[in-house]
Amino acid sequence: MLRATKVRIYPTQEQAEFLMAQFGAVRFVYNKALHLKSHMYRKHGVKLNPKKKIKPLLSVAKKSRKYHWLKQYDSIALQQSVINLHQAFDNFFNPKLKARYPQFKRRHGKQSSYHGVSVKVLDGRFCLWKQCKTRDYRALAKDTRKIARFRALRSH
């Protein structure tokens, strides 16, 4: 049985900076994918499916000189931002939902990032992707896995 657990984390200064940079990378990928999709439709009349056409471009972008800095961030979170864009377009084209056209993400808006199985529990502390030993206010179950969502509640 799966169950959700909300946990408040107390990252170190270095980890907090990494989380904020992660939020920025997720926002960058979302905005770039939205720009690419909008541009291709406006200029060339080509409809790009973010899930099938844009998501594979992430691995190509990470190998390029211009976007090689994306390698240092969680790939699952970056892919999830493209999936979120796909869902935003599905909602926009669904007449029952009356959703507006997807907007570009802003730096000062709500920041969030989703991460997959790269979250592990070690001795009552849990390890994030590529960063480890974040303090936790209570012990977590040993089999914690699947999706973790991190939000910045207050940006300094």
pLDDT digits (tens, 9 = 90+) for 89-116: 999 999 999 999 999 998 887 777 766 6
Residues 141, 119: Cα–Cα separation, whole Å: 12
pLDDT grade for 55, boundaries at 50, 70 and 90: confident
> φ and ψ at 74, to 5 degrees?
-65, 120
Domain limits, the chain: 9-114
**Residue ranges of the alpha helices (H) in 45-74?**
57-63
Q: What are the structure tokens assigned to 12, written together? A: 């170190």
Tell which wins on pLDDT, 37 or 114: 37
pLDDT score of 75: 84
| pTM for the whole structure | 0.77
Residue 71 to residue 59: CA distance in whole angstroms: 9
Q: What is the DSSP string of 115-136?
A: E-TT-EEETTEEEETTEEEEEE
